[in-house]
Amino acid sequence: AEIRAFKIISEQGIASGIRRIEAVAGEAFIEYINSRDSQMKRLCSTLKVKAEDVTNRVDNLLEELRTARKEASDLRSKAAVYRASVISNKAFTVGTSQTVRVLVES
């Protein structure tokens, strides 16, 4: 029997000096390639790019996500500082102490 085309799909170390290699061949190889092709077509459709541009588009989206998360974090910090400022401006004196009374809604 001939194997012909095959694809290594995973490789891992299972002991010192011993590797486990999994591959598909024959009909399983064709099914694997068709499945990968289908996945790539879905990615291209979702990302609205050509196959060769998928990696760059994903990299750009991840960078946009990191930037948006940082901006959101910065805005939360600024909002907390602003709320603290508003609260401190409402302080009043009781005896020798500055007192603040705030109703916090959950």
Where in the chain are the domains? Answer: 1-48, 50-106
Q: Which residue has the higher pLDDT, 46 or 98?
A: 46
> Do 100 and 88 contact (CB within 8 A), yes or no?
yes
Q: How many residues does the chain have?
A: 106
Check: pTM over 0.75? Answer yes or no.
no
d(CA 24, CA 20): 14
User: What SS3 state is found at 98?
Assistant: strand
Enumerate residues 6+ apart whose C-beta is below 8 A from 58: 47
User: What SS3 state is found at 22?
Assistant: strand
Tens digits of per-residue pLDDT, 38-94?
999 999 999 999 999 999 999 999 999 999 999 999 999 999 999 889 888 888 888
Enumerate residues 6+ apart whose C-beta is below 8 A from 7: 23, 24, 25, 29, 32, 33
Predicted local distance difference test score (pLDDT) of residue 1: 65
